Amino acid sequence: MEIAFLLVAIAVVVLTVTALSERVEIPAPLTLVVVGVAASYVPGVPELRLEPEVVLLGLLPPLLYSASVNTSLVDFNANRGPILLLSVGLVAFTTVGVGVVVKLVIPDLHWALALAIGAVVAPPDAVAATAIGRRIGLPRRVVTILEGESLLNDATALVALRTALAASAVAWEVGLEFVVAAGGGAAIGGVVFVVVGFIRKKVTDPLLDTAISLVIPFAAYIVAEEIHASGVVAVVVAGLLLGHVAPILQTAPSRIAERTNWRTIAYVLENTVFLLIGLQADWLLAEVGDSEFGAGRIALACVAALATCVVLRLAWVFAASGLLLRRSSSQRTEEPVLWRSSFLIGWAGMRGVVTLAAAFTVPEDTAHREVLLVIAFAVVAGTLLGQGMTLPLLARRLDVEGPDPQDDALARATLLQQAAKKGLIRLNELAEDCDDPHQVKALIIQRIEQRNFAAWERLGTTEGQESPSDLYSRWRGEMIEAERRRVLEIRSTGAVPSEIVSEVLAMLDVEESMLDAADAARAELRTSSRMQRLDGCEDLATIPLLDPPPTLACAACLADGTAWVALRMCLSCGNVGCCDSSVGRHATAHFRATQHPVMRSVEPDEDWRWCYVHHQTG
């Protein structure tokens, strides 16, 4: 009962602190660390020591899998150079650098333990990078690089730690051990991917499919470690590959169920990890007080190790900034943007649970083990609180813009339009081979158009005017609430089987959640004004962007007595017509009559263009 009570208490504290942090807009990881440190000194709070097996087997595999299965393999591959520079090169650089500094501060410390300390504090944490980086809205490529680095650097650090503890400092031996561990882990991850892929082709039950996914990270990690390969790499490879092919292997209900479950698991584990980190403070500091090196010397070593980690990362990132952030000679990043993004990557080096877990793997009979543990804790707490607290402020001061909802809305609408074009071609092929007495083809086309119109409407509507999507969402939301009340009334009579009632309520919940997600996306979009260039066809490249006339109106709508939603202007003749969400669809009608290929939006703060011929935006 005591263990059960403790677990429930931890869960309650984690959820409460997380909810309060989100309300006051403070990153939850930082708050949880502070709360954990304070709680460790509260009388009555039991002493909690993180066992390495619990962290390395119980926490690390699911956290790595949750992050990797949601990481784009395409983006990961596109940034593999920067990721390897950070996850391998920087970890080795930091291991040696911190080891040298700690040895200088405490000369009596054995070289093997000094290098072990360097290996322990070298890898930034995937949980910390993801939790804080996404929270403050860092640029998408910066987050991709940080996530990719954090997924792989643990393997490098753990290999370096094992080598240091074995007192083996020969460079070629370290390199060979890393290659074997990483290669073996990648092979195991590939085998797990093939096996799970084969099974998923036979499985259509979402519950069974989700249950299989819960086993994957632990199976990959255990099998890899059993053959002395890297369990970290095995989990990451399996997660990346399975996430990439999920739209092909899994059914839609299975993907939804798996995504929801892993988001919940990651949410709980990530936040619990930070609380557990803070709870180590009391006993760690108590143990180091008996060290023969003295509190002052150890405190100096902690500060030196923390400062070295920060300085070496910044130095490495700036030295390799050209390789880290430049794409190609034709897509060179502007120098101010390169400098600001490099600084953010260098500053976002928060350490986390893996550092503490690696420290605890050091055998208890190792001389001066308490020094390693307290330095590891100091670096974790220092980077989380120091860099984590200042990262949002630096991102704002450096004016590095994260993903813009306007850019995403334009890309989303374009992608849906492209997909719809291909789908309609297939629909016409199907309709040629059979009769359609019930006008199913027309119904499908209408629903496809409504979906696409809603996507384009996210880009903005006439000032002060409620868009059709907004009006639909408001009216349909009220209808769903009325429908739900009636279903609950019928349920109370017992006249309908409970299973049927649950199915109907679930259908209403799914539709309501889709409305809520669309409402949230439109609300976020209204705060953004930046637009992205997506030029991709000859017409967009050659037809100039004309300025809109001073007075804007759809003449055809005025003549017909109808209202417009948004206005578009033909860039060949200057005609202004209403968008396809309007009743008349006069902009598209103008294209069909004249074949003028490109129009532009003339809504406030919008200058994007659309090519009717190639279905491209720019």
The mean pLDDT of the chain is 81
CA distances (Å), 304 to each of 142, 286, 317, 390, 612, in order? 28, 21, 20, 20, 61
Q: Does any domain span residue 231?
A: yes
Residue 240: per-residue pLDDT: 92
For residues 239 and 145, membership in a common domain is answered with: yes
Q: Does any domain span residue 532?
A: no
* CATH code, domain carrying 40: 1.20.1530.20
Residue 437: per-residue pLDDT: 77
pLDDT tens sequence across 491-513: 888 888 888 888 888 888 888 88
For 72, phi then psi, to 5°, come to: -70, 120
* CATH code, domain carrying 556: 3.30.40.10
Most confident of 164-173, 270-279, 321-330: 270-279
Segment 360-370 shows an average pLDDT of 78
- Alpha carbon 433 to its chain centroid, in Å, reads 45
For residues 360 and 501, membership in a common domain is answered with: no
For 9, phi then psi, to 5°, come to: -60, -40
For the chain, what percent of residues have pLDDT higher than 70? 86
Residue 235 has pLDDT above 50, yes or no: yes
Residue 112: per-residue pLDDT: 84
Count the helices and strands in the chain (H runs, E runs).
Answer: 28, 5
pLDDT tens sequence across 192-207: 999 999 999 888 888 8
Which of 482, 497, 525 terminates a domain? The answer is: 525
Label residue 214 by pLDDT band (50, 70, 90). very high
CA separation for the pair 418, 402 (Å, rounded): 26
Q: Does any domain span residue 36?
A: yes
For residues 388 and 448, membership in a common domain is answered with: no
Residue 426 has pLDDT above 90, yes or no: no
Segment 271-289 shows an average pLDDT of 82
Residue 411: per-residue pLDDT: 72
Residue 535: per-residue pLDDT: 45
For residues 430 and 492, membership in a common domain is answered with: yes
Residue 318 in contact with residue 84, Cβ under 8 Å?
no
Residue 598 in contact with residue 610, Cβ under 8 Å?
yes
pLDDT tens sequence across 34-89: 899 899 888 888 888 777 777 778 888 998 898 888 888 888 888 888 888 888 88
Q: Can you name the residues that pair with 600 across neighbouring β-strands? A: 569, 609
Which stretch of DSSP H or E encloses residue 568?
strand 567-570
Residue 102: per-residue pLDDT: 92
For 294, phi then psi, to 5°, come to: 90, 150
Range(s) of the domain holding residue 245? 2-403
For residues 82 and 98, membership in a common domain is answered with: yes
Residue 564 in contact with residue 584, Cβ under 8 Å?
yes
Residue 351 has pLDDT above 50, yes or no: yes
Q: Does any domain span residue 297?
A: yes
pLDDT tens sequence across 548-579: 888 888 989 998 888 888 888 998 888 999 88
Residue 268 has pLDDT above 60, yes or no: yes
Q: Does any domain span residue 455?
A: yes
For residues 576 and 515, membership in a common domain is answered with: no
54-63, 193-202, 286-295, 329-338: segment of lowest average pLDDT: 329-338
Residue 566 in contact with residue 409, Cβ under 8 Å?
no
For residues 347 and 414, membership in a common domain is answered with: no
CA distances (Å), 503 to each of 11, 484, 497, 498, 508, in order? 31, 12, 10, 9, 9
Residue 31 has pLDDT above 80, yes or no: yes
Which of 525, 548, 581 terminates a domain? The answer is: 525
Q: Does any domain span residue 531?
A: no
Q: Does any domain span residue 533?
A: no
The DSSP code sequence of 477-509 is HHHHHHHHHHHHHHHHHT-S-HHHHHHHHHHHH
Which of 455, 490, 525 terminates a domain? The answer is: 525
Q: Give the count of domains, the chain.
A: 3
The helix, strand and coil proportions of the chain, stated in percent and rounded to the nearest 5, come to 70, 5, 25
Residue 385: per-residue pLDDT: 84
Q: Does any domain span residue 530?
A: no
Tokens for 552, please give them.
């804007």
The DSSP code sequence of 354-399 is HHHHHHHTS-TTSTTHHHHHHHHHHHHHHIIIIIHHHHHHHHHHTT
For residues 505 and 556, membership in a common domain is answered with: no
Residue 530 has pLDDT above 50, yes or no: no
For residues 354 and 367, membership in a common domain is answered with: yes
Residue 467 has pLDDT above 80, yes or no: no
For the chain, what percent of residues have pLDDT higher than 90? 17
For residues 71 and 92, membership in a common domain is answered with: yes
For residues 194 and 243, membership in a common domain is answered with: yes
For residues 464 and 545, membership in a common domain is answered with: no
